[in-house]
Amino acid sequence: MGRTGSWVVRAGVGFWRGVVAAGVCMLVPGVWAAAVGLAVWCGAEHPWSWIGPAVIVCAGTLALAQGVCRAVRSLVARWTGTDIPGGYREAGPVMQLSTGYWWNGFSYERSRRDAVMDQRMRLWWSDPATWRDLRFAVVAPFTAGLVCALPPAALAVAVLGLAGHGTAPRLVGAGALAAAVGSAPYAWRSLRRVAVRFLGPSSAMLLADRVDELTSQRADATVAQAAEIRRIERDLHDGAQARLVALGLSLATAEALMDRDPEQAKALMREARAGATASLTELRELIRGISPPVLSERGLVDAVRALALDVPLDVAVRADGPLRLDPPIESALYFGVAELLTNAAKHAGAHRAHVSLVRDETGVVVEVEDDGRGGAEVRPGGGLAGLRRRLAVFDGTLAVASPPGGPTRVRMGVPCA
């Protein structure tokens, strides 16, 4: 396609997007214009000449503001790929108490319906996003709305001018046509700038979201810590403790048989020695599960290389150099790599894997790629979801790319100085 054809396509697409954007932005002014028309139609002597239009303006603006903002976010995301979060507060659960009343987080109501309605009204009224939407609904028509309406308005002037008689109207029509065609590919882009400026979350909303995120991370960390303590307690109780109790019984029996049956006493002592060796091995494995000695002694890179030797895969480890991080971050990344390699060998049927550890200007990036069957995804309650929660404690991220048939590529990133 030549340059002329490409320009025609861009102009056509831009013209259509400008019409859609202008139509969305001008919905609220359309309500205002209807209210003014009602006031003119009623006349100044009618008692409803200003009360009715004022009610229409207020009610219409309140009713349309959120819908207009949602439509603008959808258009901007579809046309430019820019995702503007809504930032609306979510309603909490409505619970019935033993007294029969319903609690909605704000007040007690006699029925669930009343509790839900009261909750929605209070949440809508106290949500900063509500007033942000109202501000955008008022600002957008006079900024992005006017700019996006330029191509269709210029085209309308061009049609009227070219259809008229005389040189002057036709010159005006030709100029308007040139303005419509020239501005069509660009006018609609103003919608993104205005939306990002006025629909983005405020500092108070970002702070509230951050508080919620930290609260959730603290709860996840508390749950994970409690689960880890229970696991250690269970392993000690069922493993090493049971063997040590049996070891004590064997030694007591051997002591009692030492004079009467030395051979049987020696056999019991040999069994006790084997039990002590097994207990020591279990304790070492338990310590490795808590904090591998090689991780604290030699760092993350050497610990991952040692881990690769124990995995039933052909694992290649690449690192820019030795990485010394805070012990909690090193532990989280180490056990993350261990879990990913275990999943690759156990669930994905992989034969080879590649681990990359890189430090850039933002922090540490660890990528694990395998040649398994793919199809891995983050499911609620699954291992990858738990790994994402553990990394989130350090503001880390987890990205999974695993198309059916493979390969599977998991990227862990943790910001650090």
Residue 321 CB contacts under 8 Å (≥ 6 apart), including other chains: 301
Q: What angle do CA 189, 194, 200 make, to 5 degrees?
A: 125
How far are the Cα atoms of 368, 383, 385, 386, 388 from residue 380, in angstroms, in the given order?
A: 21, 9, 6, 8, 11
- State the DSSP string of 307-349: HHHHSSSEEEEEESS-----HHHHHHHHHHHHHHHHHHHHTS-
Supply the pLDDT for residue 13: 84
Residues 134 and 62 sit within 8 Å (Cβ to Cβ): yes
- φ, ψ for residue 144 (rounded to 5)? -65, -35
What is 205-290's CATH number?
1.20.5
CB atoms within 10 A of CB 171: 12
Supply the pLDDT for residue 325: 74
Supply the pLDDT for residue 114: 86
Supply the pLDDT for residue 130: 84
Supply the pLDDT for residue 343: 81
Supply the pLDDT for residue 224: 59
What are the residues facing 359 on neighbouring strands?
364
Span between the terminal Cα atoms of the chain, in Å: 50
* Region of residue 299 (left: phi > 0; alpha: psi -120 to 50; beta: else): left
Domain ranges of the chain: 3-83+127-201, 89-120, 205-290, 298-415
- In whole angstroms, what separates CA 151 from the centre of its chain? 37
Arch. (CATH architecture) of 298-415: 2-Layer Sandwich (3.30)
Q: Residue 344 has which token pair?
A: 């690759």
Beta strands (DSSP E) in 90-248 are: 95-96, 102-103, 108-109
Identify the segments of the chain with pLDDT beneath 50: 1
Do the two domains 205-290 and 298-415 of this chain adopt the same fold? Answer: no
Q: Residue 370 has which token pair?
A: 């395998």
pTM greater than 0.85 (yes/no): no
Q: Sheet harboring 314-319: ordered strands across?
A: 314-319, 352-359, 363-370, 408-415, 397-401
